[in-house]
Amino acid sequence: MRRYLFYVSQLYSFAIVRPLQNIIIGRGDDVAWFFDNPEKLLPYLRPNEKCLKTVADVMAYNPCAVFVPGNMVPDFFPGIKVELFHGFHARKRTDERGHFRIRNFFDLYCTQGPDTTLPFKALEKKHGSFEVVETGWPKMDPLFEVHTHTKLKKDRKVILLTSTFTPRLSAAPALFETVRQIAETGKWKWLVNFHPKMDPAVNENYRSIQSDHLVFIDTDDVIPLLKQADIMVSDTSSILSEFLLQQKPVVTFKNRDPGPQLLNITEPKKLEAAITLGLTHPESLMKEIKAYSDHIHPYRDGRSSIRVLEAADRFVAKGRDHLKPRPLNLIRRLKIRKQLGYYRF
């Protein structure tokens, strides 16, 4: 029986690794979780999920691979380190500072589609200390599951409002008054879900206007919200890419890279008209959404978790002798040792 570990730092990571957990358990292997912020995250663990609470526990568990939906992982943990990413490339920062920044922690990068595979393949060739395999993203597997139960009946269209927490990029504060006014009409049903790091004051503003027409939702799994909504309103958040994979329109507010797959606005007063247009599914817009979806995540089979696990197992089987050693990465290694109270090298 093989053992695998999830190294989780944020609430949104749960939905990324749980589809992978289902595959691991389903084939008779074992999986455990480790939190670098257990006080915050432990309450969201399910009764049948195993948590390792100390570094000593991890060492004794001795996983063959550590899956990470984030940017950092303890280099001293046993097993290969596999980057799963916390989201799609949202272009919030330059490539060197953002999505394609190499932090020298990982042996294997499991990319989502050509949009990320091509740049990471170039970095693989440049650095030579890691492998890149295009697998698709485990989080998206449930999005493409076929359910036989009756579809949820809706008496009106549903709008999902999401927003990044970065103040200079966040649409939530700027759109608050406009959303409040539109919601009061009852024309549409609003679901509101923000990044876990969102300013609490912004969250409270939206909670204060909850009604039969607008609901604020805290959840570790946004997939059901994506499925329920007919259209999304967002900004430069990476979650809009997840929504587009369903071939549904997205209205963005001051998106940093507003491609033709988006209905981007720069003034709150234009929000209602943009939503109305998006709900008509203009042919030219839907063609752009299809092309964009194929570029970022061409997989619609719900088997990305299987591909990730297969890629990790192949790497474990052959080892990393064919790769260059990872750079020393001393400052980051010291930082994570201090965080976990572990100082051996």
> Is the model more confident about 132 or about 88?
132
Select from 71, 110, 64 the least CA-distant residue to 93.
Answer: 71
Please enumerate in sequence order all residues whose Cβ is within 8 A of that of 19, keeping only pairs 6 or more positions apart, or say none.
Answer: 138, 139, 141, 142, 304, 305
- Average pLDDT value for residue range 101-108: 92
The pTM is what? 0.86
89-103, 137-151, 241-255: the lowest-pLDDT one: 89-103
Instruction: Write out pLDDT tens, residues 177-213.
Output: 999 999 999 999 999 999 888 999 999 999 999 999 9
The mean pLDDT of the chain is 93
As a whole number, mean pLDDT of residues 54-77 equals: 96
Q: Do 158-296 and 3-143+302-340 have the same topology in CATH?
A: yes
Q: What is the C-alpha to C-alpha distance for residues 177 and 341, in angstroms, rounded to an integer? A: 46
Q: State whether residue 252 is helix, strand or coil.
A: strand
Mean pLDDT over 266-294 rounds to 98
Asked if the model's pLDDT at residue 92 lies above 80, the reply is no
Please answer whether residues 268 and 174 qualify as being in contact, where contact means their C-beta atoms are separated by less than 8 angstroms: yes
Residue 335 has pLDDT above 50, yes or no: yes
> How would residue 154 be classed by pLDDT, with cut points 50, 70 and 90?
confident
CB 64 within 8 A of CB 3: yes
Q: Are 213 and 219 in contact (CB under 8 A)?
A: no
| 25, 147 Cβ separation under 8 angstroms | no
Tallying the residues shown for the chain, one arrives at 345
User: What pLDDT does 96 receive?
Assistant: 53
Q: Could you name the CATH architecture of 3-143+302-340?
A: 3-Layer(aba) Sandwich (3.40)
Task: Return d(Cα 264, Cα 196) in angstroms, integer.
Answer: 24
What single-letter amino acid sits at 339?
Q
Residue 89 confidence (pLDDT): 77
In this prediction, residue 106 carries a pLDDT of: 96
The correct answer on CATH 3.20.20.150 for the domain covering 158-296 is no
Secondary structure letter of residue 51 according to DSSP: B
| 147 band by pLDDT with thresholds 50, 70 and 90 | low
Helical H segments across the chain, by residue range: 14-26, 38-41, 55-61, 114-127, 172-185, 200-207, 223-228, 239-244, 271-278, 283-296, 304-318, 330-340
Confidence label for 150 from pLDDT (cuts 50, 70 and 90): very low
Q: Which amino acid is at 47?
A: P
Q: Which residue has the higher pLDDT, 196 or 146?
A: 196
Q: What's the count of helices (H) and strands (E) in the chain, helices before strands? A: 12, 12
Domain coordinates of the chain in residue numbers? 3-143+302-340, 158-296
The pLDDT-based confidence of 224 (bands split at 50, 70, 90) is very high
Tokens 């006080």 belong to: 39
Phi then psi for 191, rounded to 5 degrees?
-115, 130
**pLDDT value, residue 329:** 85
pLDDT tens digits, 283-315: 999 999 999 999 999 999 999 999 999 999 999
- DSSP secondary structure string, 176-223? HHHHHHHHHHTSSEEEE---TTS-HHHHHHHHTT-SSSEEE---S--H
The percentage of residues in the chain with a pLDDT greater than 70, rounded to a whole number, is: 94
Q: Among candidates 278, 205, 283, which has minimal Cα distance to 248?
A: 278
Share of the chain above pLDDT 90, in %: 80
pLDDT band at residue 155 using 50, 70 and 90 as cut-offs: confident
